[in-house]
Amino acid sequence: MLNSLAMRGSWILSLLLCSLVSNAQVPGVPAPAPVPKPVAAPAPAPLPPSIEGAAWLLMDYSTGQVLLGNNVDTRVEPASITKVMTSYVVSAEIKAGKLSPEDQVRISENAWRGGGGGTDGSTSFLPVNSSIALKDLLHGMIIQSGNDASIALAEHVAGSEEAFASLMNAYAERLGMRGSHFVNSHGLPDPEHYSTAHDIALLSRALIRDFPEDYAIYKLKELTLNGITQHNRNSLLWRDPSVDGIKTGHTAAAGYCLAASAEREGMRLITVVMGSSGEKKRADDSQALLNFGFRFYESHLIYAAGQSVVESQIWKGEQDSIALGLLEPLQVTVQRGKYDQIKAVMDLPKPLLAPYSKGQQVGTLRLSLDDQVLIERPLVALADVPEAGFFGRMSDELMLWWESD
C-alpha cells in the first residue's frame, strides 16, 4: 500500500515538473509572439432616418423593445388614434361576454350632434335615432374614423361618454400606459386628453396580440356604410403590402399622426409618428422607419419558455440545487451583427434558501448591449423545492455559518 502511494506521488510530481519545464522559457531565446486572429469589422449601418414629427418611435412587436425614438414619453394629443383605445375597450368587453357584435346600437342625438355629418370632424354619416349593428359601428369607427360611431359605441358600452372614458383609463392602466389620460372616445381636443408615442405603441401591440380578429379590420381599405363609401386614411395600406394597420389622426393642434404596423418574414414592427406637417409626410416618415427596422435589425430567441437557464445551489431544501428559467420565451431584437455582443447578468439572492414553489420569482435576468439594458425578465423556479427536515436545515445552517466565517 505504501509503495503504491509512493509510486502515485512520484508520478504526480513528474507531471508537475514536466509542466514547469514545458512552460519555462529558454534563456536567450525569445518566446514567439502570438499570431493575432483577424477580427471581422461589423458591417456599417447608416444613420437612422430623419423624422419630422414632434414625437416618434420604432418598436419591435415580439419583444416590445423601442429600437429608435424621440420624445417617446412626451405628452401629445392623440387625435383620432384615440379610437384605437376605444376599439380595444369594445373588443375587451365583447370578449368578457358583456356585449355582442350583433347588438343593435342606437345613434343618439348626442352622437349625431357631436360627430355627425354637420360637424367638422370625420364621420360615418349615421342618421339620428337610427340603429345599427355594433360590428358595423366598429368598422365605421376604424375604417372611416367616424366620430359619431365612436360616441354611439361609448354610450352603448357604458351609458355615457364620461363613464366610457373611465373604462378607457382603467384599461390603459392595465396595459401600462402610464402617460395617457382619456376624456372622450373620439380624440377631439381637450386639455385633459393626452397620450405619448410610447403608450400608443403599447396599445397597438396589445390590440394586435389580444384581438387579432378585430385588428384585421384595420387593414380594410374602404367601407360602405349607410350608402356612403369612404376610404381608409392610412395611405400605407396602398403603398406597402406588408402594412396591415393601424390608425391615422389629425387636428390642428395635434398635427398629422399615424400609428402603423407591418410584418415581413415573420418579423413585425410598429411605428408611431405624432405631430407631422402633412398626410404625405407622416406616411413617408412611417415608411422610412419600417424600412430601416426591417433592413438593419434582427430578432433572436434567447431562451424558450420553461427552459433551464441556470442550476443554482440552494440551502435548507430537499434538493441541493434549483433549476431557474423563464415563464415566457425570451426574444431580443438588435442591430444586425451585434448579437454576439449581448451580455447576460443574473441577479440572485445569496444564499438561496428553500422553500420555493414552481413559477415563483427567484431573481432577475438582464440582457444588455453597449452598456444599455435591452430587456429584463424574472427568473423563476422551474420546480418545487420544499424545505428540508429539521436535521437537513440544521446541517445547512452549520455549513452556511462555516462558509461565512
Residues belonging to the active site: 80, 83, 145
C-beta of residue 355 within 8 angstroms of C-beta of residue 341: no
Dihedral pair phi/psi, residue 347, rounded to 5°:
-100, 115
For residues 368 and 343, the answer to whether their CB atoms sit within 8 Å is yes
Beta carbons within 8 Å of 203's beta carbon, 6+ residues apart: 84, 85, 88, 172, 175, 177
Contacts of 366 (CB under 8 A, 6+ apart): 344, 345, 346, 347, 373, 375, 376
Kindly provide the b/e burial profile for residues 154-184, where b requires at least 16 CB atoms within 10 angstroms of the residue's own CB. Answer: bbbbbeebeebbebbbebbeebebebbebbb
Coil, strand, or helix at residue 116?
coil
The secondary structure of residue 404, as a DSSP letter, is: H
> What DSSP string describes 215-282?
HGGGG--EEEETTEEEE-S-THHHH-TTEEEEEEEEETTTEEEEEEEEEETTEEEEEEEEEESSHHHH
Helices (H) and strands (E) in the chain, counts: 11, 16
CB atoms within 10 A of CB 231: 14
* Rg, Å, the chain Cα set: 30
Residue 101 preceded by cis peptide, ω within 30:
no
Does residue 141 contact residue 124 with C-beta atoms inside 8 Å? yes
Contact criterion met (CB below 8 Å) for 145 and 162 = no
